[in-house]
Amino acid sequence: MTDPEKIENIETESSNPKSVNIDTMTPFEIAKLMNEEDKKVAFAVEKVLKPIALLAEKIMESVKKGGRCFYVGAGTSGRLAVIDAAETVPTFNLPYGTFTAILAGGNKAMMRSVENVEDDEEAGKRGIASHGLSSRDVVVGVSASGRTPFVIGALQKSKEMGAFTGCIVNVKDSKISKIVDIPIEMITGPEIITGSTRLKAGTAQKMALNMLSTISMIRLGKVYKNLMVDVTPINEKLVNRAVNIITTATGVPRKKALHLLRESGMKPKVAIVMALTNKNSKDAEKLLEIHEGKIKNVFIQGK
């Protein structure tokens, strides 16, 4: 009988029979095999859409009440979490710290491997505790093996501090899954290079993280129709994008859209309400505040 606690018996660490001769394959054959294996990732994610949706809703409720979402991970999992958290600021105009990724080994681990840090459970506890969690916050552990000590420590401490918890893992019935309120277990199976979880497991994790941040922000009103109306136009490209968003949402000419954007204080969402209601920026902001930041609610519930 195999011991599931041994690293070699974890699904993500087992050998893939399709790639045992990968070192003799041509580049095209390797690319074809990788593509075939990657096709399985979306199906693995499809099986856990319900817990993903439930956790995304919890994150939305948390942010709406002034809470925060923390991702915790090590290695590839942690780096993917850093990317997702960082992108929420320009995409959804969130204050820094609304989504925060805690990476084992700190910032230096983003660019190079830091040995042994993922095995430090106490470091995970200290890392999350330093943020002063409350019951308004959500903490999501990300770990391919579902047993990373750094992540386990952080989640245990999070529960002690009253935060809601979830996880993204790539094995069934993991240690981490047993700790959290909502586990997301995406079974991606053996990698083509044994144990290289930056491949299928990492791809699945990125997809799940995309869903958690995107769904929660759509539900919070950060998207109107399918437009990212809260984008922060901090450079020429993003100013052009904001103008395109305003023209698409309202039908006003580009020159008018740019004028409204400037009048709004470079806030596309406010500019859109100004265009659709003929209000000034102050009144448009007030309307959005009354209707929880949702443009559609301004018109559904009355002006």
Residue 25 lies in a domain: yes
Residue 203 lies in a domain: yes
Domain span holding position 26:
11-219
Q: Are 67 and 93 contained in the same domain?
A: yes
Contact 217, 64 (CB under 8 A): no
Q: Are 65 and 130 contained in the same domain?
A: yes
Residue 89 lies in a domain: yes
Contact 55, 140 (CB under 8 A): yes
Residue 4 lies in a domain: no
> Where do we find the tokens 């859109």?
272
Residue 17 token pair? 């029979």
Q: Are 215 and 274 contained in the same domain?
A: no
Residues of the chain with pLDDT > 70, as a percent, come to: 96
**CA-to-CA distance for 46 and 58, rounded, in angstroms?**
20
Q: Which helix (H) or strand (E) holds 35?
A: helix 27-46
**CA-to-CA distance for 107 and 98, rounded, in angstroms?**
18
Contact 84, 99 (CB under 8 A): yes
If we measure between CA atoms, which residue out of 45, 58, 56 comes closest to residue 84?
56
Q: Are 252 and 209 contained in the same domain?
A: no
**CA-to-CA distance for 121 and 200, rounded, in angstroms?**
26
Q: Are 88 and 161 contained in the same domain?
A: yes
The CATH number linked to 288 is 1.10.8.1080
Report the number of distinct structural domains present in the chain.
2
> Where do we find the tokens 């941040």?
213
Q: Are 263 and 187 contained in the same domain?
A: no
Q: Are 204 and 263 contained in the same domain?
A: no
Q: Which of 170, 190, 219 is the last residue of a domain?
A: 219
Q: Are 172 and 260 contained in the same domain?
A: no
Q: Are 282 and 147 contained in the same domain?
A: no
Q: Which of 159, 187, 219 is the last residue of a domain?
A: 219
Q: Are 214 and 246 contained in the same domain?
A: no
Give per-residue burial for 96-122: e unless 16+ CB within 10 Å, then b: eebbbbbbbbeeebeeeebeebbebbe
Contact 100, 72 (CB under 8 A): no
Q: Which residues are catalytic?
A: 87, 118
pLDDT tens, residue by residue, 87-145? 999 899 899 999 999 999 998 999 888 778 999 999 999 999 999 999 999 999 999 99
pLDDT tens, residue by residue, 147-181? 999 999 999 999 999 999 999 999 999 999 999 99
Q: What is the pLDDT of residue 192?
A: 96
Residue 2 lies in a domain: no
Q: Are 214 and 241 contained in the same domain?
A: no
Contact 265, 230 (CB under 8 A): no
If we measure between CA atoms, which residue out of 145, 186, 162 comes closest to residue 51?
186
**CA-to-CA distance for 215 and 204, rounded, in angstroms?**
16
If we measure between CA atoms, which residue out of 63, 215, 83, 89 comes closest to residue 142?
83
Q: Are 61 and 183 contained in the same domain?
A: yes
The CATH number linked to 50 is 3.40.50.10490
Residue 227 lies in a domain: no
Q: Bigger pLDDT: 302 or 59?
A: 59
Residue 44 token pair? 């693995």
Residue 267 lies in a domain: yes
pTM metric for this prediction: 0.92
